[in-house]
């Protein structure tokens, strides 16, 4: 068997795995987001700080999976790949997805370090803003995920 064919098959298999990993991490951030949103402003900063730190780290993992793994895997597809439509869609949506990244990074930076009572009091409002950006990002990513899955199903058939 041709080595290039083996490499292309392995690379094509990696793309659905990366998408599954993205969805798993995304689910984790949504669960942590809900837990943070349920915090009461009068709650001691210690437990909130720990949860917020986990959330922030998971957010960074999530952000890295999109452009540095999934989108890069799409860009690395050969010209005759059945994933070309998904790659073209990702290219069209990437600028809008990148704008949501700025909002996530701003949230991440705002809550870097010790959590003050004032920062904890503002957390719900900040989470609301972050939630809007995440919802936009998820909506855009879901289009790419659907395109990848449609072509994964075609490859499996």
Q: What is the pLDDT of residues 105-131, one digit of tens each?
A: 999 998 888 777 777 778 889 999 999
Residue 95 has which token pair? 């600028």
- Condensed to tens digits (0 to 9), the pLDDT of residues 30-45 reads 999 999 988 876 666 6
The rounded distance, in Å, linking the Cα atoms of 1 and 5 is: 7
The string of pLDDT tens digits covering residues 60-78 is 999 999 888 999 999 999 9
What's the CA dihedral at 120, 122, 123, 128 to 10 degrees?
A: 170
Structure tokens at 119: 């920062």
Distance CA 133, CA 99 (A): 9
- Domain limits for position 9: 3-156
Helix %, strand %, coil % of the chain (to 5): 85, 0, 15
Confidence (pLDDT) at 35:
93
Average model confidence (pLDDT) across the chain: 85
Residue 122: CATH number of its domain? 1.20.120.1370
The tally of domains found in the chain comes to 1
Q: Which pLDDT does position 7 carry in this prediction? A: 39
């Amino acid at each position: 068997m041709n080595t290039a064919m083996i490499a292309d098959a392995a690379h094509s298999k990696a793309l659905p795995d990366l998408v599954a990993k993205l969805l798993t991490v995304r689910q984790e951030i949504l669960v942590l987001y809900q837990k943070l949103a349920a915090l009461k402003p009068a709650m001691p900063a210690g437990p909130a700080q720990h949860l917020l730190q986990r959330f922030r780290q998971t957010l960074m993992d999530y952000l890295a999976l999109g452009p540095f793994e999934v989108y890069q895997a799409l860009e690395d597809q050969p010209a005759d790949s059945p994933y070309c439509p998904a790659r073209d869609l990702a290219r069209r949506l990437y600028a809008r997805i990148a704008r949501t990244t700025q909002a996530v990074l701003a949230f991440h930076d705002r809550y870097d370090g010790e959590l003050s009572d004032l920062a904890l009091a503002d957390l719900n409002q900040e989470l609301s803003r972050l939630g809007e950006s995440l919802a936009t990002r998820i909506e855009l990513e879901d289009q790419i995920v659907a395109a990848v899955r449609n072509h994964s199903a075609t490859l499996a058939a």
